[in-house]
Amino acid sequence: MNAVIIDGPVGVGKTSLMDILIEEFGYKPFLEPVTDNPLLDKFYYNRKRYSFPLQIFFLNRRFAILKEAAKIDGSVMDRSIYGDVIFAKMLCEGGDMEKEEYALYKELLANMLEHVQPPKLMIYLETSVDCEIKKIKKRGRDYEQIVEREYWEKLNNEYQEYFGYYNVSPLLKINTDNIDFVNNEEDRKYIINLIKEKLKEIDKLSYNQELVAAE
């Protein structure tokens, strides 16, 4: 699948980077299903009640997005079905999702992954908890402001662990703590060049593998 996926903790800049890649590469965007999500706001006020239906909502929408993206030559999305399991695992370990619900979630995820191709590139935007919270406060979503620091710390740790073992597709990890690719032109060029070089590396490897297979 010729798709680039951008993942990372809440508020790290996934959508902003997606907008840059749309402009730079002409990719078709697939947005995270947040604005039309009837459960997200309720979840932040009552996690135990809404954790499982929220995760199923995301799982279903992101599965549909991946299937649609597979039909297009060049797409980009912020978050996907792959990193979504981070939230489900954390909710289960924190007691907000029943173990039976988490088991069902993983079973559904495994079945879905059998029917989608991995992305061409996964970009993981890494950040510290302090920088993450600063960005969350700046964008000012009411339901995010009530979340305790411990939740963001746990989420950040889960992201680091998940992408420490991620091997589904090529991975590009970028630490965003000291760069501002939205407002700083040099930082913008830096991150675009990183992505271009990684994509060239992937294309070269794919070409060599095709040559070997043809021999």
Catalytic residue among 7, 78, 180, 187: 78
The span from the CA of 198 to the CA of 102, in Å, is 34
The span from the CA of 58 to the CA of 37, in Å, is 9
Return all residues near 121 (Cβ < 8 A) that are at least 6 apart: 4, 5, 169, 170, 171, 172, 195, 198, 199, 202
User: Would you call 84 a catalytic residue per the annotation?
Assistant: no
DSSP β-ladder status, 171-175 and 28-30: unpaired
| Contact status, residue 154 vs residue 86, Cβ threshold 8 Å | no
| Contact status, residue 106 vs residue 85, Cβ threshold 8 Å | yes
Q: Which residues are catalytically annotated?
A: 78
